[in-house]
Amino acid sequence: MADVLSKESRHRNMSAIRNRNTKIERCVRRMVYAGGFKYRTNVRDMPGRPDIVIRQYRAVIFVNGCFWHGHDCHLFKMPETDTEKWRNKFRRQIEVDKQNVNALIDLGYRVLIVWECSLRGKDRHTPSGLAERIEEWVLRGAGLGSIAALKSSNPGDTHKL
Ligand SMILES: [Zn+2]
């Protein structure tokens, strides 16, 4: 019985995390839209099904939840039950993310990772500050960029595993 309950509450937690990720994706879309860029969302025929693709600028944006993508920041916490299973899951996700980024760069796209912690939590950017950084990157950013929490010691591509 105890196990059933804990499974149910875990399921609720995971759903809550997924919904939050959808919310931050919408938020980033609004910023891109406000920047005047034409974009497509959830583009299925590109590696990793990017959240946002701005073809005119050969730019792709992923909005990554810090939990699912194992980001090295204050929002990531390793689950205390089934830890090994989770660790392996995160490692696989990180590997898939890397392969997708490389594939997109090979196709001639630039890739920006916007981490959840840049929008949520104690060290988030202001909405206008974040919008500016995204716009700046779309216009002039390097091949692979990332935006994370303001005080992050890890500006992007490091993971907790
Ligand atoms: Zn993060």
> Which pLDDT score is estimated for 13?
74
Residue 148: partners with Cβ closer than 8 Å, 6 or more residues away: 71, 73, 115, 117, 118, 154, 155, 156
Task: Give the pLDDT confidence score for residue 108 in this predicted structure.
Answer: 97
Q: How far is the CA of 17 from the centre of ligand 1 (A)?
A: 13
Q: In what order do the strands lie in the sheet with 110-115?
A: 40-41, 52-54, 59-64, 110-115, 144-147
Task: Please report how the helices 127-140 and 2-34 are oriented relative to each other, as an axis angle in degrees rounded to 10.
Answer: 60
This prediction has a pTM of: 0.86
Measured in Å, residue 147 CA sits from the centre of ligand 1 at 9
120 Cα–ligand 1 center, Å:
9
Determine the pLDDT at residue 1. Answer: 47
Strand partners, 62: 113
CATH 3.90.226.10 for domain 20-147, yes or no, is no
How many angstroms separate the alpha carbon of residue 45 from the centre of ligand 1? 27
pLDDT at 20: 73
Q: What is the pLDDT along the chain (161 residues), one digit of tens a residue?
A: 445 557 777 777 777 777 777 889 999 999 999 999 999 999 999 999 999 999 999 999 999 999 999 999 999 999 999 999 999 999 999 999 999 999 999 999 999 999 999 999 999 999 999 999 999 999 999 899 999 999 765 555 566 66
How many Å lie between the centroid of ligand 1 and the Cα of residue 21?
A: 12
Which of 101, 114, 108, 107 has its CA nearest to residue 144? Answer: 101
The answer to whether the beta carbons of residues 28 and 124 sit under 8 Å apart is no
Distance CA 87, CA 90 (A): 5
